[in-house]
Amino acid sequence: MRKKIVLLTSLFFTNFSTNIYADNAQNESVLEAQAKILYPMNTMAISNSNRVEKWNSFSSSWSDLGYMGGWPVKMMTYAESNILLAVHLDGRMGQWTGTNWEDLGFPGGWNLKMVAFDYKEAKYWSVGVDGNVGKWNGKSWYNFGNLDGWNVKMVAFDLAGTFWCVSEAGNMGRWNGKHIENLGNLGGWKMKMIAFDKLGNLWGISNQGIIGKWNGNFWDTNGPINNLALNWVFWSVK
C-alpha cells in the first residue's frame, strides 16, 4: 500500500520535518573548458514552462511528460520511501498517487515556493513565498523567517545533512553551524536551484536554465539540450 502523507493534526510523519554561460566576457573560455557529462539514471526535470521532463539516455534528449496529473508545477522531489511530492504554481502541495496528484492544499497555511526532505534527519523543510524557511514540527511549519536575512528561493541537503540554499539574487549559501556562509555566484553562475544526487554530487541550474555538475572548480555542462530551459532537476531515490 502506498505510504500516504496526511497533513492534519495527526500526521503520517510526526517530524515533517541540493549564467551557465557565465558572464558574456568569459563565455567562450568557460565553455571550452567544460566537459561533457552523463546524467544519472532517472534524471527528471521541470522545464521553464512548468512541464515534467525525463532524461532519455538512449536518445540523449529530454522526453516531455507534460503536465503530470494536469498540474503545472514549480518543483518536484522524492522523499522518504519514494514519495513523490510537487508544488503547484499556486503554492499548493501534492503527492503523486501513481495516476494523479492528491491535493494536500497549503500545509500549515503556507503558500509554498518549494519543499525539501533532509534524508539525514528525516525531516521536511520548505520555503514560503516570502523567502522564509520552515521546518515541519508535526503540526505546522516552524518559521525561521528570512534566515540570516536571506530572501531564500530554495533549500537543499547534501548526504551529510548540511543545509544549502539559493537566494532570489541567485547566490548560493551553506549553513556552517552558526549562520549561512555566502558562497556567492559559485563558478560565476547565478543559480535557479541546486540539488545533490544519491552519490553526493552537486548539481545546479543556472538562471539561463542550463544544468551543470560541480567538479570542484567550475560547472561541467552539456549546454542546452532540445533548446529546453529548465527550472528544476531531481532524481528518484531508487
User: In this structure, what CATH number is given to the domain that contains residue 162?
Assistant: 2.120.10.80
pTM of the model: 0.84
What's the rounded Cα separation, in Å, for the pair 102 and 94? 5
- pLDDT of amino acid 204: 97
Identify the pLDDT of residue 10. Answer: 29
**Total structural domains in the chain?**
1
In a domain, 15, yes or no: no
Does a structural domain hold residue 5?
no
Neighbouring CB atoms inside 10 A of 177's CB total 7
The dihedrals phi and psi of 95, each to the nearest 5 degrees, come to -120, 130
Q: Looking at the predicted structure, is the pLDDT value of residue 31 above 50?
A: no
40 domain-assigned? yes
Confirm whether 6 is domain-assigned: no
Which residue intervals of 48-177 are DSSP H helices? none
Least confident of 13-27, 88-102, 143-157: 13-27
Residue-wise burial string across 37-53, b where 16 or more C-beta atoms lie within 10 A, e elsewhere: bebbebbbbbbeebbbb
Q: Three-state DSSP class for 83?
A: strand
Q: Which residue has the cell 530572501?
A: 151
Residue 81 — pLDDT band, cuts 50, 70, 90?
confident
> What pLDDT shows up at residue 238?
53
The amino acid at residue 130 is: D
Per-residue confidence band for 237, with pLDDT thresholds at 50, 70 and 90? low
What's the full length of the chain, in residues? 238
Residue 126: inside a domain: yes
Residue 33 CB neighbours (<10 A): 12
Q: Which domain range does residue 161 map to?
A: 24-235
CA quadruple 225, 219, 182, 24: dihedral sign: negative
Instruction: Confirm whether 215 is domain-assigned.
Output: yes
Phi, psi dihedrals of residue 226, rounded to the nearest 5°: 60, 20
Is pLDDT at 5 greater than 60 in this prediction? Answer: no
- Which residue type, as a one-letter code, is found at position 186? L
Domain-located, residue 167: yes
Q: Taking 70 as the threshold, does the pLDDT of residue 1 lie above it? A: no
Confidence of residue 19 (pLDDT cuts 50, 70, 90): very low
Say if residue 14's pLDDT is above 80: no
Q: Between residues 130 and 59, which one has the greater pLDDT?
A: 130
pLDDT tens by residue, 128-178: 999 999 999 989 999 999 999 999 999 999 999 999 999 999 999 999 999
- Higher pLDDT pick, 5 / 123: 123
Q: Is residue 11 part of a domain?
A: no
The one-letter code for the residue type at 22 is: A
The H or E element containing residue 145 is strand 141-145
User: How far apart (Å, rounded) are the C-alpha atoms in residues 92 and 73?
Assistant: 9
